[in-house]
Chain A
Amino acid sequence: MTDQNSQFVPIPDRPAPATTVGPVAWIRDNLFGSVSSSLTTLLFLYLFFTYVPLFIDWAILSANWTGSDRSVCDANREGACWTFIGVRLEQILFGLYFGSNPDQVWRPVTVFIVFFALLIPLMMERTPYKKWLALTLLIPFPVLFYVLIHGGSFGIPVADTTQWGGFLLTFALAFVGILFALPLGILLALGRRSDMPVIRAICVTYIEFWRGTPLITILFMASVMLPLFFPAGVEFDKVVRAMIGITLFQSAYTAEAVRGGLSAIPKGQYEAAMALGLGYWRRTAFIILPQALKISIPSIVNTFIALFKDTSLVSIIGLLDLLNMAQTASRSLEWNGYDMEGYLFAGFIFWMFCYGMSRYSQNLERKLDTDRRH
């Protein structure tokens, strides 16, 4: 054997064999690792090179970008007619009022510039004073939105909610829905796990009722039935009714997403917080919710993305959101027949925002992951 006082000498690390690392090894292992894997790779390449160039040609290379009426597009049917989108952009984004009053377009443009000026720094890692930015977005920004979009004060002409439409309406509905549904949903989720049976029963009933009813039904009810509950003459704004319906519906989903996070918190966390003498609300605010919300970020964002897209359902009560406004524009006399461009454009805007939310949630998850931070 070894001598009695031998020292522990670590063997130095060696690099992995060259055939198992690098791009060639990766391609061999992942794309052509087996017969079925190779076939899948080839099939995918075939489909990709058959259809993607066709689409790119139609959508970009042969597309019509210029002009101010349909004559350009009618002359070249090989490519997409983005002229239509360009001419009707204000209408699709901001609705009929701003579409037909070009001198007022500065109002929604200002609102969105302010929105992105607040949002983009908020999403970046190293921005100082984030708390104040977020607070500005939550309180003064909606006021600014109302003052500028609705008008009626500071000499700004009124564009009441019946004239809101396009992306502007989609944005307003989703923003209000998210803003109010999140806190309401958190309270409902906490209530559902309460020790008090009455509170628990109220929350369960609420959640199950709204979750079990289709949004279309809720919008119908908000539009048709709500007025029946109020005395004649009390006129409820249609957009506000949709906002209330969406918020109530959305809060039930948010509550279930948050509940998933809450039930993942180990009992020991509650016990440690209790043992330190922290009462219910402090325990919840400092220990439980920060961890539960972190866990439920993916599902909460998932419900927000669903909500953002579901706002299109307001067409059922006669409101024209982004999708319906694009459709309306492409069915106008001047542009009849260019539906596909309208749908693609609306779809692209929806996708941009949903993908943005998704990416941001992934970022947030990574940032908050203190368990594996080294």
Chain B
Amino acid sequence: MTTDAPTASAELGETVINIDRLNKWYGQFHVLKDIDLNVKRGERIVICGPSGSGKSTLIRCINRLESHQEGTITVDGIELTEDTKHINDIRREVGMVFQHFNLFPHLTVLENCTLAPIWVRKTAKKEAEEIAMRYLERVKIPEQANKYPGQLSGGQQQRVAIARSLCMNPRVMLFDEPTSALDPEMIAEVLDVMVGLAEDGMTMLCVTHEMGFARKVANRVIFMDGGQIVEQNEPEAFFNNPQNERTQLFLSQILQH
């Protein structure tokens, strides 16, 4: 059923995230079933699947926005448990970009980017601002630094959200449907930034339906349905020669358009 992780791992580093027989329930509802996933440094994974398949829940377990009931998740050598200190240690190293951006509307773009470095990483304010400006340049909106998120377009807001995460210098970036809430004209500018990140070797887990993006940057595409990993493979093999019937059906439906 599931194929092995891609063989391209020769160029990849050590394990960053290891998920072992993960199970999660919402009340009586079994959302994640026996998930095994190993992510190596520099790996870029795209997770796709129908809504309700558990893909968002899976990546939200990695920084403990959701707690799990069975199995283990180890991030950067630290196992996720109830321990608040461990949770915050992991969150510091794992950046997350949300579907609805979730920028802090009462803070300027620059303040959005410097808040966590100053208070969590204890970076000096001036240094944090320099770092923030560097990342805002990288996402191509340094001129918006002193505006409020409400004054920016959706695409610009999402790029700020990416810069905000990068300012914490994370070892892994999680993307939870980063382009799903954007107008068509703005999707490209966000994907461009993400492709740039991938080229720089950032370890990425990305829940998305942007199959062009998956083809272009992913080392591995994972297809989920009903809370389990149905199939995973390198993008070429995944798109051209899906093994599982369910995957074939899903791909035929989303690639028609």
Contacts and interface: CB of A to CB of B under 8 A. Distances in A.
Interface of A: 266, 268-269, 271-279, 282, 286-287, 290-291, 294, 368, 370-374
B213 interface: no
Given A274-B91, A275-B95, A276-B115, A373 B102 contact: no
Contacts of B102: 266, 268-269, 271-272
B70 to A, nearest CB: 22
Contacts of B104: 269, 272-273, 287, 291
Nearest to A285: B119
B16 interface: no
A291 B88 contact: no
B230 to A, nearest CB: 27
B164 A276 contact: yes
Contacts of A274: 63, 65, 91
11 contacts: A268-B102, A274-B91, A275-B94, A276-B120, A276-B164, A276-B165, A277-B91, A277-B168, A278-B120, A279-B84, A374-B151
B65 A286 contact: no
Contacts of B63: 274-275
Interface in B76-101: 84, 88-89, 91-92, 94-96, 98, 100
B116 interface: yes
If over half of A's interface residues share one DSSP class (helix, strand or loop), that class is named, otherwise mixed; here it is helix
Contacts of A374: 151
A286 B91 CA distance: 18
A290 B115 CA distance: 14
A285 to B, nearest CB: 9
Contacts of B84: 279
Contacts of B116: 276-278
Contacts of B106: 290-291, 294, 368, 370
A272 B150 contact: no
B105 interface: yes
Nearest to B94: A275
Nearest to A267: B102
Nearest to A280: B84
A272 B176 CA distance: 12
Interface of B: 63, 65, 84, 88-89, 91-92, 94-96, 98, 100, 102-106, 115-116, 119-120, 148, 150-151, 161, 164-165, 168
Given A276-B116, A277-B120, A370-B105, 4 more contacts: A276-B120, A276-B164, A276-B165, A373-B150
A286 B115 contact: yes
Nearest to A293: B106
B88 A370 contact: no
A9 B165 CA distance: 41
Contacts of B151: 373-374
A268, A275, A371 pick with most chain B CB within 10 angstroms: A275
Given A277-B88, A291-B105, A282 B98 contact: no
Given A275-B65, A276-B91, A371 B119 contact: no
B150 A279 contact: no
A231 B113 CA distance: 58
A277 B92 contact: yes
Contacts of B115: 276, 278, 286
A194 to B, nearest CB: 15
Closest 4 CB pairs of A and B: A272-B102, A276-B116, A268-B102, A277-B92
Nearest to B96: A275
Contacts of A277: 88-89, 91-92, 116, 120, 168
Contacts of B98: 268, 271-272, 275
Given A276-B164, A276-B168, A368-B106, A286 B148 contact: no
B76 to A, nearest CB: 13
A271 B161 CA distance: 13
B243 to A, nearest CB: 34
Contacts of A294: 106
Contacts of A290: 106
Contacts of A271: 65, 98, 102
A282 B84 CA distance: 14
